[in-house]
Amino acid sequence: MKYYLICGERSGDLHASNLIKALKYADPDSKIRGVGGDLSKDAGMKLYAHYKDIAFMGFAEVFFNLFTILKVLSNTKEDILAHKPDAMILVDFSGFNMKIAAFAKENNIKVFYYISPKVWAWNTKRAIKIKKLVDHMFVILPFEKDFFETYDYKVDYVGNPLRDAISNFTPNANFIQKHQLNAEKKLVAILPGSRYQEVTMLLERMVEVAFDFPNVQFVIAAVSNLDSAIYEKYKRNNVKIVTDETYDLLLHARAAVVASGTATLETCLFNVPQVVCYRLNGISYRIAKAVLSVKYISLVNLIVDKPVVKELIQGDCTIENIRLELEHLLPETVYRKAMMQGYQEVSARIGETGVSEKTAGLIMQYMKAEVNVNN
C-alpha cells in the first residue's frame, strides 16, 4: 500500500514515526511519503517537506505566516496527486490537515486521521465536518470517543501513543555525568515547548525563577529543530541546557515547569510534579479565550476533568507564581503527594502500550476491507 502521511510539529512527528515503524513491520512493502520531521524520516518515510516550515502557534502567528503555510499546502496537494497514494494518514495538526482531508475527499483518496483535532475544546460543530471528510478516526483521549458519538460518528479509541514513546525510551546511564550535574542537588526541568513562538513567550520567565532557588539545578529541555541561540542566553551557574534529551531529564527531575501541550502528559507519566505555563500574544489570547469551551488547558487536567496540576495562564504566568508553585512542589509536601495521587488516576485512564501497533493494524484492516468491497 502507498500512504501519504502529514504531521506538523515535534510531538506529532514522534507519534507518526512510531506508527510508521508499526506499518512497516506489518507490511514491509508499504511505501510512505509525506510532510513530517526527522523522526518520521528515520522511521522510513520519504520526506517531501519538513514540519518546521509550517509549525506556527497562535491565531495571530498563523495569520502573519499565512502565505508560507498556503504555499506549502498548495505544493503538498500537487505532490499528493503526483504520487497517487492509496490513503492519507493525517496526524493531529488540524488547521492544515483538515484542508488536506477535504482535498483528499474531492479526489477520492481514503482518509485516516490519527490524534483527533481538538474539536471538543472549541467550535464543537466541526465534528460534523470531520464526519464528512474523515473515513476513520483514531482518538487517543478517553473522552473523545463519547464526544464523537454525540454526533453519531463512530471512532476508534486506541489509547495514548505516549505509552509507546516512553516504553521505547532507553535511559542514558551517563546523563548526570555527561552534563556535569550534581546528583545530590534537586533538579527542576524546564520544558518551554518545541515551537519558536511558545519558547520565546515562556522561557525567560521560566528561567528567571532560578534566581530564587540558588541551590537547585535548573535544566532547560532544548530541541534541535530550533536555533540553539534561543536557549544559550539563559545559561548561568544553576541553569544548564540539554538538547533532545527530555525523557532523560524528566527521569532525574524533582519538579518541572512545563509549557501546556503534550509535555504536560509526558511529565505526568514520568511522575514529576509540575506547574503548567501558557502564554500567547495579546491578540491570539483574546481570540482563544473567546472560542475555547473547556475548563482546563493541560492534558493532565482534561483527562480526569479536575485540577490535578496548577495552570498559570497568560497574566497569571508570572515569575512570582512559578516560584510559589515550586516552593510547594520541591519539598515532600501534602500538595506534592496529592498531585502524585492525581497522576495515578490519569495514568489509569489512558490505556496501555501497543498503541502504534493497534492503529497500524486497524489501518490495514480497513484497507483490506476496502479492497474486498471493490473486488
Tens of pLDDT along 215-246? 999 999 999 989 999 999 999 889 999 999 99
pLDDT in tens, 309-337: 999 998 899 999 999 999 999 999 999 99
- The pLDDT value given to residue 249: 98
- Region 134-153: mean pLDDT is 94
- The pLDDT value given to residue 66: 63
Contact 297/278 with Cβ under 8 angstroms?
A: yes
Per-residue pLDDT band for 292 (boundaries 50, 70, 90) equals low
- The pLDDT value given to residue 281: 66
Type of residue at 167: S
Domains of the chain: 2-159+352-374 (3.40.50.2000), 173-349 (3.40.50.2000)
- The pLDDT value given to residue 372: 67
CA dist., res. 102 & res. 126, Å (int):
13
- The pLDDT value given to residue 231: 96
What are φ and ψ of residue 354, in 5° steps? 90, 15
Of 190-204, 251-265, 289-303, the range with the lowest mean pLDDT is 289-303
- Region 295-310: mean pLDDT is 94
- The pLDDT value given to residue 289: 63
Computed over every residue of the chain, the mean pLDDT equals 91
Of 20-29, 67-76, 186-195, the range with the lowest mean pLDDT is 67-76
- The pLDDT value given to residue 125: 82
Q: What percent of the chain has pLDDT over 70?
A: 91
Per-residue pLDDT band for 10 (boundaries 50, 70, 90) equals confident
Contact 256/189 with Cβ under 8 angstroms?
A: yes
- The pLDDT value given to residue 160: 94
Per-residue pLDDT band for 375 (boundaries 50, 70, 90) equals low
- The pLDDT value given to residue 60: 52
- The pLDDT value given to residue 357: 95
pLDDT in tens, 52-110: 766 655 555 555 556 677 888 999 999 999 999 999 999 998 889 999 999 999 999 99
CA dihedral (324, 296, 313, 316) positive or negative: negative
**Beta-strand (E) ranges in the chain?**
2-7, 31-36, 46-50, 87-91, 110-114, 136-139, 156-157, 187-191, 217-222, 239-243, 255-259, 274-278, 310-313
Per-residue pLDDT band for 291 (boundaries 50, 70, 90) equals low
Q: How many CB atoms lie within 10 A of CB 135?
A: 16
- The pLDDT value given to residue 123: 72
- The pLDDT value given to residue 68: 75
Place of cell 492534558: 299
Q: pTM (2 decimals)?
A: 0.84
Looking from the CA of 62 toward its CB, the CA atoms found within 13 Å total 13
In this predicted model, which residue has the larger pLDDT, 31 or 281? 31
Per-residue pLDDT band for 161 (boundaries 50, 70, 90) equals very high
Of 33-42, 121-130, 192-201, the range with the lowest mean pLDDT is 121-130
Q: What percent of the chain has pLDDT over 90?
A: 76
Copy the grid coordinates of residue 86.
492509496
